Amino acid sequence: MAAPQKVPRPQRPKRLTRKEKQAETRRRLLDAGERVFLRRGLQGSSVEEIVAEAGFTRGAFYSNFKSKDELFVELLHARVYDRYAELAKETEAQPGTPREQLRWGAERLRDVQSDEQGSWLFRLWLECLTQAARDEEFRKLAATFWSGNRALVAGQVDATFKEVGRKPPLPPDQLATGMIALDVGLAVQHLVDPEAVSLDVYVPLYDLLFGEMVEASGG
């Protein structure tokens, strides 16, 4: 008889190991949280409703998170924060003239808003922003996020103008602020009135407002 070797990680765990199961629970809670937050808002959501949505009871929640806010913040990082950051870097790596890059970026910003059923991503972000108006913690969270993106975009702007051999008409970080502002402003207007503000305006507006200043050299 071969000695039964101790297998610390059995190849076929009957079902799920303890850690796997808990990870799954976390995931289900986060998913449920997202759905509940979207329909009730951050403040309007109760731990009760989130766990019910996920098919658990309160015990499951409190052994995975300290508070509703903590779950929300984690959600924000996993689904919003990361995605925008990734997008900013992708745009940087995009080939083509500066104006083509810009156009590509504008298309991606537009696409993010049309995700599946009505831009859950931006709506979570909006929840965060509103909370930021009152809560230092959330304000820092949002500030950090935008600082990062602003610096990234400003860097690209700066590089672009150097490439084209021209001086930016405004400091790069101000231009970056403007570009972010346009994104947020269009997203929120579209959210409120999709008929009146189509997502199609993203590309022409970015191109007109920011594209011309890096064009060959005067039309």
**Is 15 an interacting residue with respect to DNA (CB under 7 A)?**
yes
C-alpha R_g of the chain: 22
**Is 48 an interacting residue with respect to DNA (CB under 7 A)?**
yes
Q: How far is the CB of 44 from DNA (least distance, A)?
A: 8
Count of residues of this chain found to bind DNA when the rule CB under 7 A is applied: 26
**Is 47 an interacting residue with respect to DNA (CB under 7 A)?**
yes
In angstroms, the CA 152 to CA 150 distance is 5
Under the rule (CB under 8 A), what is the footprint of a copy of itself?
38-41, 43-44, 123, 126-127, 129-134, 139, 142-143, 146-147, 150, 169-170, 174, 177-178, 180-186, 188-189, 191-193, 196-197, 201, 204-205, 208-210, 218
Which residues ranging from 118 to 177 are in contact with DNA (CB under 7 A)? none
> Which pair of structure tokens corresponds to residue 164?
């084209």
State the CB neighbour count (10 A cutoff) for residue 104. Answer: 16
Pick one of DNA, a copy of itself, none as the site partner of residue 164 (Cβ within 5 to 8 A by kind): none
Nearest Cα neighbor of 217 from 164, 160, 159 is: 164
> Which pair of structure tokens corresponds to residue 206?
């970015």
Nearest Cα neighbor of 60 from 109, 23, 87 is: 23
